[in-house]
Amino acid sequence: MSNITRKRKPNQPGISRKKAKLTHLTAGDLPWKTVPRPREAEFGADYEDLLDLEEVDDVEVLYEETDAGRVVRFMASAASKGKSKDTDVLEEPRQDVPEDSSPAEEPPALPTSTAKAARTPEAPSFDAAKLLPHWHEFSLHPRLSYTLYTQGFTNPTPIQSQALPLAMQGRDIVGVAETGSGKTLAYGLPILHHLLTEASAPGPSKTQGRRPLRALILAPTRELALQVSTHLNACLNDIDIPAGEPPSVEEDLKQDNSGTVPANKSKGKSRAMAKKIPKPNASVNTPGGPVKPKPPPLVSVAAIVGGMSAQKQRRILSRGVDVLVATPGRLWDIVQEDDQLGRDIERLRFLVLDEADRMIETGHFAEMDNVLRLTMRFPKEGEPELEPDVGLRGSAEPEDSKKDVKKGDLQTFVFSATLSKDLQRNLKRPKRPKKQKNNKPASTLDDLLLRLDFRDPTPAVIDISPAGGVVATLQESKVECLALDKDAYLYYFLLRYPGRTLVFLSSIDGIRRLLPLLDLLGLPAFPLHSQLEQRQRLKNLDRFKSTPNAILLATDVAARGLDVPAVDHVVHYQAPRAADAYVHRNGRTARAMRRGFSLLLCAPDERRVVRAMLGSLGRQEEDIPEMPVDLYLLDKLKARIQLARGIDTAQHKVRKEKHERNWLKEAAEAMEIELDSDLDSPTDDDARNALSKRKLKAAEAKTAALKAELKQLLAQPLVARGISTRYITSGSRPVADEMLAGELNEQMVGLRKVEAGSDLVPAKKRKAKAKTKEEFEEWNGLGE
Ligand SMILES: Nc1ncnc2c1ncn2[C@@H]1O[C@H](COP(=O)(O)OP(=O)(O)OP(=O)(O)O)[C@@H](O)[C@H]1O
């Protein structure tokens, strides 16, 4: 027996509760719909799905007392039950496609089904063989060819052209290639090709209910997992081809008669080289009749990461996902509650470890090890045994499910820019090593390779990483200085070479100290580290992408995989702890054959670490040239820094005083003690509080005075030695002509506007330099 104790009114007043037929639903089944966020709460298009706010109408919440305790039930009216999020989108006013929209000019983002509704027979055709000759040999699914074309990816990168044929043959792959060389698509394209081909093959619909997971991609950081998911989603675009119809690009275009690139939510990944596709004259207005609800996508990609709503992620999973990109911690949390997901992982078709070497660092990701165990076949002699208490293997129908996994079913891809030679040597060993005794979580790459259980007896190893880990289009430099002077050198660099700059620090405290300093100096800086809320992390990343000359102060959480377009410079404010971190940090610039610049600020006590780091990359200190610095200007900047530090300290004092006073007030309130009206403090403590108030006032006055002084200093132009601002056509260095030609640095009068690195004296010419030209041509000069 159960009785209902409380009812809440439906939150849409217009609907009669009497008439509505109520159906019991779980929270995940409710017809959630997206609520537009206020502008200031936007995080960029990349994370829409996970960060959108959602609301639900016409639902009664019933609290029911049962024998097992109180139970919450959601009762939806029949009218709302069938209404999905997508149906709501369809009800939005339809839009017309602008006449001259083209892929190069950001096509209008139409609701998919609206775009689909606008079909005309005169849609243009797209000849993939002719327009993408360099991809032709891979016979990619037409939808993928189409996307590559619209994104301007006319040539495969070297890692893509080597990995693709092997992956298509079903081989397991270990791929090592430089940062920013397109590894995501090197593993992503074969997966999507396989799934698209399978899904669009003629025949009856293969699955009833939730679609089983087919591919799992594990990434070490949340931002990277979200980025990979966005990248792969962008490849699928938003065109829906009904299952059973083998698609062609011509078909795709016929179906989306806007003739534009389908709405691509990922702006970050698209290249400026996008080609124009012929456009038909079309309007999306359809002649009457209700538009059908959007069918499920042919292949779906989703991300599940920590720091975001686990409930929403569970809901996304329950709708069925083909490709899941995940960070191991959150994935394991969900797997433990979701038996179906666990069983799906046991029967995966593709497994990817992105940034594999980072994933198995000692002490990290025990959860990943647990997930990997699920992907292993039934242990054979000579293979590591599974711990009985691990994962779902010990639970529901484990034995049967193991029989279902056929040898060769799972294809494994391991990618990174830094995998050691040792790893490759182990892989090429003819036999698997003997059974391990303790079965401890993987702590080395060798262990990981055992754990991974490659189905391929000899996984293909593609190692095209550059010597010393240095990308050919990267220019490195260093400044040797006292730790105390690093702020001034950084400030000098930011003013001397304006551009989007990613500054790496080894500690979060360092970021907290530097951030207000740069702020006081009027520079747009944003923090990124693990102690920020995930929303804030993504918001800051987005601001960094969208603000000109922005600065991102980050820990190594941003060192791996992040593909922020047009990062001009990387600064190592502190030397990285390991050589791979140096390579990956540098890899945030000079991506996809663009030019990039890195600066290493090296204090005397860091020299040993730097020497060791370069040594392990097979390089020497002299390989990295010194960045030239105008010491006269640097001194002037030091004065500004000094003032900014003073202000920060004074502000800190003010905050501390205020905090103490507030605490006193709250404590007094809690104890119900009367506060003195003048001092806002308990009368017993008059003297102490008068002192506190005086201190506060003094700190505030000091802050104001220092701020005024800094403002004045910042208003004065920074003039290089020998330059007269009064007589610009005379003086020891007349600058009038350069000024007129706009060739002068706007922040430092008298210095020419130059790109970072253009005034370096090369210490040693790297052999890799010779390769640059060749590769530019091979990639069609992308980035030039
Ligand atoms: N064939 C291609 N032509 C041009 N650009 C490409 C091509 N393939 C990928 N890219 C672009 O190159 C950039 C880098 O790709 P990606 O992030 O996959 O590099 P990565 O090798 O994984 O880098 P990292 O080692 O830093 O993770 C992305 O912006 C991607 O869109």
Q: What is the DSSP string of 149-208?
A: HHTT--S--HHHHHHHHHHHTT--EEEEE-TTS-HHHHHHHHHHHHHHHHHHSSSS---S
What residue type is assigned to position 579 of the chain? A
Residue whose CB lies within 8 A of the most ligand 1 atoms, among 145, 153, 184, for a mutation test: 184
Percent of the chain predicted with pLDDT > 90: 35
- Whether 559 shows a pLDDT value over 70: the answer reads yes
Ligand 1 mean position to 592 CA, how many Å?
6
Residue 278's pLDDT band, with cuts at 50, 70 and 90, is very low
Neighbour count for residue 198 (Cβ, 10 Å): 15
Tell me how far apart the alpha carbons of residues 255 and 113 are, in angstroms, rounded to a whole number: 10
Could you tell me which of 1, 251, 266, 245 has the C-alpha nearest to residue 123? 251
Which atom of ligand 1 lies closest to the CA of 563?
17
Percent of the chain predicted with pLDDT > 70: 59
Pocket, ligand 1, Cβ cutoff 6 A: 153, 155-157, 160, 179-185, 269, 271, 417, 561, 563, 587, 591-592, 782
Closest Cα to atom 31 of ligand 1? 269
Across 2-6, 553-557, 687-691, 694-698, the highest mean pLDDT is recorded for 553-557
Closest Cα to atom 23 of ligand 1? 180
Report pLDDT digits (tens) over 258-274: 322 233 333 333 333 33
* Mean predicted lDDT score pLDDT of the chain: 72
Closest Cα to atom 1 of ligand 1? 156
Residue whose CB lies within 8 A of the most ligand 1 atoms, among 176, 185, 227, 231, for a mutation test: 185
- Whether 637 shows a pLDDT value over 70: the answer reads yes
Which atom of ligand 1 lies closest to the CA of 584?
26
Residue 82, SS3? coil
Residue 353's pLDDT band, with cuts at 50, 70 and 90, is very high
Which atom of ligand 1 lies closest to the CA of 155?
1
Report pLDDT digits (tens) over 745-775: 677 776 777 888 887 866 555 444 444 444 4
Ligand 1 mean position to 294 CA, how many Å?
31
- Whether 25 shows a pLDDT value over 50: the answer reads yes
Write down the pLDDT at residue 685. 61
The continuous run of DSSP H or E covering 715 comes out as helix 686-715
Across 370-384, 473-487, 658-672, 765-779, the highest mean pLDDT is recorded for 473-487
Read off the pLDDT of each residue in 649-674 and give the average, rounded to a whole number.
76
Paired residues of 325 in beta bridges: 217, 303
Given a contact cutoff of 8 angstroms between Cβ atoms, the answer to whether 736 and 749 are in contact is: no
Closest Cα to atom 9 of ligand 1? 182
- Whether 582 shows a pLDDT value over 50: the answer reads yes
Higher pLDDT, 242 or 761: 761
Q: Residue 6 contacts by C-beta under 8 Å, 6 or more apart in sequence?
A: 62, 63
As a residue count, the chain comes to 784
Residue whose CB lies within 8 A of the most ligand 1 atoms, among 181, 229, 413, 594, for a mutation test: 181
Q: Residue 496 contacts by C-beta under 8 Å, 6 or more apart in sequence?
A: 630, 745, 747, 748, 751, 756
Ligand 1 mean position to 185 CA, how many Å?
7
Which atom of ligand 1 lies closest to the CA of 592?
12
Tell me how far apart the alpha carbons of residues 579 and 468 are, in angstroms, rounded to a whole number: 10
Ligand 1 mean position to 111 CA, how many Å?
28
Write down the pLDDT at residue 331. 94
Which atom of ligand 1 lies closest to the CA of 561?
27
Write down the pLDDT at residue 421. 42
